[in-house]
Chain A
Amino acid sequence: MQVGRRSFERSDEEIIGQLKRNDRVSRFMILGFLVSLVSSVVLFLMGRFGAIPPVVAEYLAAAPLIVWVLATIFLFSRNFAPAPEADEERILRKRIDAIQSVWRWIMLSSVFTTFVTTCTTSFALGRPNIRYPLITLFVGASLAIVILVYSLAAFYGPRYLGRKYRIASDELDQALHARAFKVGYLAMMIMAAGALPAILYRPALTGPALSWLLFAGFAIPTLYYVILQWRAGSGD
C-alpha cells in the first residue's frame, strides 16, 4: 500500500448512496426531457393560435430544452464529480490531450448553438415588431450576450472553465490560437467593410447584417482554431 496517498475505498452505504443519487439524476434527465419537450411544443402552439405573440413563441420555444440541458450538466457535475486529486496539476498535465479534445467539442457545439441562435434572431430582426419594440430589443440583446459569452470562452481557451485548466493551453495550443484569431481579425474586418455599404444601401438589412457579422466574428476564428488543432500532429 502506498504511503501518503488517499484511499479511494468507500463503505457500502457510501456506494449505495452514490448509486441512489445517480438513479435520481437519470430519472430527472428522462422526465425533464419529456417535460421540456412538451413545454416547447405548447409554447410553439400558443404562438400559432395567437395566445402569445408569435415572435415570442418562436424565440422562447427552445428555452425549456436549453434549461433542461443546463440543469442536466449541473446535476451531472455535482453527482459524478471526480476525486479531489483529479484537479491537481500533476494529474491535469497528464490529461492535456483529453482536456483539449473536450474543449474542441465545446467550441464546435458553441458554433452550432450560435449559428442556430443567429438564424432565428436575424429572421426576427429583419422584421422588427412595431407593436412590441421591446421584443426586438430583447431578441437582439440576447443574441449579443450569447455571442459575447461564447467569444470570451473562445478567447480565453480552456482556462475559461477554471483557472486550473490554464495548463491545458500548452505552447502549440497558444500558437494555433494566436494564428486562428489573427485570421479571424482579418476576416471580421473584410466582412465589416462589406457590411457597411450594404447597410447604407438597404437600412432594413442592419439587424440581420449585424447579427451575421457578430456570428462570423466568433465562428471563423473558432472553427479555424478547431481545424488547426485537429490537423496538428496525427499519428505516433
Chain B
Amino acid sequence: MIERRLGNRLKEARTRLGLTQTELAERIGVSRKTINTVENSVFVPSTTLALMLAHTLETTVEALFYVIDGND
C-alpha cells in the first residue's frame, strides 16, 4: 500500500507576506501550534482550515497543499 502524506508550501506563502506563525494564527483564529504542526506536515488540516489558510495567504488550496506519495 502506498502511504500518502500532505506536503505544503505554507512557510513560503507566509514569509512572502511577512507574517509570523503567531500572526497567521491570530488572523485565522487558531493556535500557533496548529499553524506550526500543519507547516511541519505533522497535522493534516480540515478542508475548512485549508480554505481559510489559502484565503488568508492570498492563494489557492491547490497551490498551498500537495500530496506526497510514499514512493517519492
A171 adjacent to B26 (CB under 8 Å): no
Interface of B is mostly: helix
Q: Please report whether the interface of chain A is mostly helix, strand, loop or mixed according to DSSP.
A: helix
Tell yes or no: A234 within 8 A of B by CB: yes
**A93 / chain B contacts, CB cutoff of 8 Å:** 26, 29
Closest chain-A Cβ to B43's Cβ sits at a distance in Å of 5
Q: Which one, B33, B37, B42, B46, contacts A97 given CB within 8 A?
A: B33
Among the interface residues A171, A175, A235, which one has the most CB atoms of the partner chain B within 10 A? A171
Q: Which of A97, A167, A171 contacts B32 (CB 8 A)?
A: A97
Whether A118 sits at the interface, judged by CB under 8 Å, is: no
Residues of B within 8 A of A193 (CB): none
Q: Tally A residues with Cβ within 8 Å of B.
A: 17
Decide yes or no whether B40 CB sits under 8 A from chain A.
yes
| C-alpha spacing A235/B35, complex, angstroms | 11
> A233 near B35 (CB under 8 angstroms)?
yes
- The reply to whether B33 and A172 form a contact with Cβ atoms under 8 Å apart is yes
A234 to B36, CA, bound (A): 7
Partner of A96, one of B31, B42, B43, B46: B31
B33 near A171 (CB under 8 angstroms)? Answer: no
- The answer to whether B20 and A94 have CB atoms under 8 Å apart is no
Contact with A along B21-38 (1 / 0, CB 8 A): 110011001111111110
**Residues in A lying within 8 Å of B, measured CB to CB:** 93-94, 96-97, 100, 167, 170-173, 175, 229, 232-236
